[in-house]
Amino acid sequence: MNGIFSYSDDRETSSAAKVRALEALLIEKGVIGSDSVDTVLRHFETVAGPFNGAKIVARAWVDPAYKARLIEDTPAAIAELDLPAGMTGAEGEHMAAVANSADVHNLIICTLCSCYPWPVLGLPPYWYKDPVFRARGVREPRAVLSEFGVTVPETKAVKVWDSSAQIRWFVVPERPANTEGMSEEALAALVTPESMMGVALVAAPQA
């Protein structure tokens, strides 16, 4: 992560052995079962993940009335879609969507930890958990966005959403040009987790 600290040469093998030892001891002592960790991880492959968020965004792009409902009452609008059971589950008990537009660019952050809307986005990527993003995202969001390759002109408002209580935020990015007539499924395939946190735009499909 940073060159100014010294790390042992076997940093990763040491952690790998320690976490396996911890899991083994917890299983032996009946704290967890031998399938508990895999049960957790399976949830993030089958139930909760950015594949849900992408479907929500694609629906919002093709149906402006749905998009309005999504911003007004996010859980109710999510419940309209045919998504896996659990969209109000862990770290999604209270989610809220904000929409990018010609006038507004939204950025999601958690300066105190790493709050993230699990059901619709899955687990947070490293950039989001990194102290540098968390420190700079609220102080110089436009500079941070430009490091991600997103230039926001001063005429466009930047709104930064710091997740410090119950709400878990996500962004409905702008629909890219040249996507008229594309199916919802094809549109969903364009949507990245980064675009739903506000550090990327959705790229137009390659011609």
Q: Give the residue numbers annotated as catalytic, written as ranges.
A: 110, 113-115
| Shortest distance, position 188 Cβ to another protein, whole Å | 18
For the chain, give the DSSP string: --TTS---TTHHHHHHHHHHHHHHHHHHTTSS-TTHHHHHHHHHHHTSSHHHHHHHHHHHHH-HHHHHHHHH-HHHHHHHS---S-TTSTT-TTEEEEE--SSEEEEEE-SSS----HHHH-SPPHHHHSHHHHHHTTT-HHHHHHHTT----TTSEEEEEE--SS-EEEEEPPPPSS-TT--HHHHHTT--TTTTTTSSPPPPPP-
| Shortest distance, position 103 Cβ to another protein, whole Å | 10
Q: Can you tell me which of 81, 99, 167, 189 binds another protein, judged by CB under 8 A?
A: 167
170 belongs to the binding site for another protein (CB under 8 A): no
32 belongs to the binding site for another protein (CB under 8 A): yes
Q: Can you tell me which of 62, 111, 150, 179 binds another protein, judged by CB under 8 A?
A: 111
Q: Can you tell me which of 101, 166, 203, 204 binds another protein, judged by CB under 8 A?
A: 166
Q: Can you tell me which of 80, 140, 183, 185 binds another protein, judged by CB under 8 A?
A: 140
Q: Can you tell me which of 52, 193, 196, 198 binds another protein, judged by CB under 8 A?
A: 193
Ramachandran region of residue 2, left (φ > 0), alpha (ψ -120 to 50) or beta? beta
Closer CB to another protein, 55 or 168, in the complex: 168
Please tell me the distance from the alpha carbon of residue 83 to that of residue 48, in angstroms, as a whole number.
10
130 belongs to the binding site for another protein (CB under 8 A): yes
173 belongs to the binding site for another protein (CB under 8 A): no
| Shortest distance, position 60 Cβ to another protein, whole Å | 20
Closer CB to another protein, 11 or 181, in the complex: 11
Q: Can you tell me which of 162, 176, 179, 205 binds another protein, judged by CB under 8 A?
A: 162
Q: 130: closest CA among 109, 151, 148?
A: 109
74-93 residues in contact with another protein (CB under 8 A) are 85-86, 88-93
| Shortest distance, position 162 Cβ to another protein, whole Å | 4
